Structure 1
């Protein structure tokens, strides 16, 4: 039986989790509301909050799981990608604890962990499967052959879809984080009311910089004509923006599934919590005969549950790290 402690500190969530023999026992997340007043994450403030939170969060999950530190068989932590200061807090804590206990240290790639979050709960996908990973900083389509073998089939060449959601929300005057607000407002709007230009990319790659510019120019032009335009059309604007972004995601995902001849399809990352994306995936599943996999909401955003399950799977492959491993803010896939 392997007992793994997972630690996540890549951005503005301090999270810890215990995984016992492949079962995630808990998933504690300390969120940082301090960034809301700045309209985005402030790296230095995030680091300070991680320092404040990491000891009580880790202590809480160990106590809740009735695990003594001497029972641990490994400590998994996010090595990257992420904010350097934030990653340093988690990695330094994990290294110190692993060294004091003389147990393996397991560095985890944050984006791969989002994919492996599908192995926390049932039903679980079988290999190989296609995973659309969508978050604030990344948008990728992956062929997942195993826990240690993932191939990028396509990815964004500029901005991530999460950035597009948040930027559009800011243009609409919505508070940070804006993506969930657009999702909420879109439920009361007409998704076909407004049209926005989309960037065309070859193969399975994405580009979201063009649609952000399209939304900006469209709103600027309409507000010049009527200063109350956004307020009067807020729900329709949110619905139209969400519809366009989701269509861009799904068109490539359908193409990837056909190209690879795979019907096991998953989504992961923070944007996978979006209700419109989940609905679109379910619709395509009916059309194409897919078996689809969507993580529980608590495992969509940044969390240590996905780090702990990744640590369990990597522990089985003895994919251990060293105390000399440095955090990698731009960790290669």
Structure 2
């Protein structure tokens, strides 16, 4: 073992996935995620059920992460955990566990902002995967967040645009619900959109100032559109499902890309990275790659396993904070609202 080697164990519990990862410096040795299927029957995440499931999952998930990494807990240099933002009950489970492990092993405790982790996931060491150069623009898109961030370095990030209401993942899921698709609907919309005509139906694009977003109007437009069409033709959704999904996805992508182009132009930055659960969307990935030819961008798209909530991205922030000696103490508390800036 190199004397400079840093072993970080990381905990992620901001929503409904319990995850633990072990990193050796910037390399992932294990990244274990326990999903919670119970929420599917409710059409969305139930916070109380999520926190209970985290309590059941956290010990086995941590044990599995250590086993897969083939290291003993005594080798750990520090523990990193998601402090926020997220569901308070879920965050409390991860925070309490991290604080207890830090005390038991007498190792440093490192708090991590969940959104910062989505951005820095690009710095996980992966073969044939280049890392962004500072400064770069990050588009973070998930079920709870939609932000454009100017990333100056690992710890200096400035939000230059964000959603004024619903997040983009919410727009996908709620549109899917209107169409009668099961939860989570976003991936299903993406799958069906591949077979449809993106210009079959026109949905309105909101007029929002600066680099900010709004998705509540689109969701309402989809609802009224479906209600109107099914009155005329009861089987309208079933007969046009792929085209509707393709048209919704196309509209969302146009909204995101318009703001991203504006952000690149206003800052002069052509390094563009995406992160967050919705960055797994194939349509968004494809259009972003096209931006390299169209606008001279260099784009960075994370591996699928680092797009959804996972502990490896918490671990990479933990590693850089460890090098910076940016530790926290036992008085730290979970924070449901935790600004990136």
TM-score range, shorter chain: over 0.9
The answer to whether structure 1 residue 97 and structure 2 residue 101 are counterparts is yes
Name the residue aligned to 2:66: 62
Task: Using the TM superposition, give the Cα deviation of residue 297 of structure 1 relative to its aligned residue in structure 2, in angstroms.
Answer: 0.3
* Structure 2 length-normalised TM: 0.96
Task: Answer yes or no: is 1:37 the counterpart of 2:44.
Answer: no
1:290 is displaced (CA, Å) by 1.1
Question: Which stretches of structure 1, 4 residues or more, deviate above 6 A after TM superposition?
Answer: none
Give 1:68 shift.
1.2
Structure 1 partner of 2:26: 22
Corresponding position: 1:300 with 2:307: yes
Quote the Cα distance in structure 1 between the aligned partners of 2:338 and 2:195: 40
| Residue aligning to 2:297 | 290
Any idea what SS the aligned residue of 1:59 has? helix
CA RMSD in angstroms comes to: 0.8
Structure 2 partner of 1:84: 88
2:133 & 2:227 partners in 1: Cα distance? 47
Q: Does 1:7 align with 2:7?
A: no
Q: Does residue 263 of the first structure (1) align with residue 263 of the second (2)? A: no
SS of the aligned residue for 1:327 comes to coil
Q: 1:107 aligns with which of 101, 111, 116?
A: 111
Q: Which of 178, 199, 211 is the aligned partner of 1:204?
A: 211
Instruction: Assess if the C-alpha contact under 8 Å between 2:30 and 2:66 holds in 1.
Output: no
Q: Taking structure 1 as the reference length, what is the TM-score of the superposition?
A: 0.99
- Provide, for residues 204-256 of structure 1, a one-character-per-residue CA deviation record: whole Å limited to 9, x for no partner: 00011111111111111111111111011000000000000011001100111
| Higher deviation after alignment, 195-204 or 229-238 | 195-204
- Contact 2:226–2:237 (CA under 8 A) maintained in structure 1: yes
Q: Deviations along 1:58-84, whole A, 9 cap, x unmatched? A: 011111212111111110000001111
Q: 1:214, 1:316 → 2: CA distance?
A: 49
| Cα deviations by residue, 1:69-112 (Å, 9 ceiling, x for unpaired) | 11111100000011111101101000000011111100000011
Give the superposition deviation at 1:196: 0.9
Alpha-carbon distance, 1:126 to partner: 1.0
- Secondary structure, aligned partner of 2:152: strand
Partner SS, residue 18 of structure 1? strand
| 1:332 equivalenced with 2:339 (yes/no) | yes
**Following TM superposition, by how much is the alpha carbon of 1:263 offset from its aligned partner in structure 2, in angstroms?**
1.3
Task: Give the secondary-structure state (helix, strand or coil) at the position aligned to 1:177.
Answer: coil
- Distance in 2 separating the partners of 1:322 and 1:40: 34
Contact 2:289 2:299 in 1 (8 A): yes
The aligned counterpart of 1:317 is 324
Quick one: distance in 1 between partners of 2:256 and 2:133? 23
- Equivalent residue number for residue 181 of structure 2: 174
CA distance in 1, matches of 2:278, 2:25: 29
Secondary structure in structure 1 of the residue aligned to 2:321: helix
Aligned length: 333
Q: Hey, what's the Cα distance between the residues in 2 that align with 1:213 and 1:117?
A: 33
How far did residue 322 of structure 1 move?
1.5
Partner of 1:145: 152
| Other structure's SS at 2:30 match | coil
Measure, in 1, the Cα distance between the counterparts of 2:224 and 2:146: 24
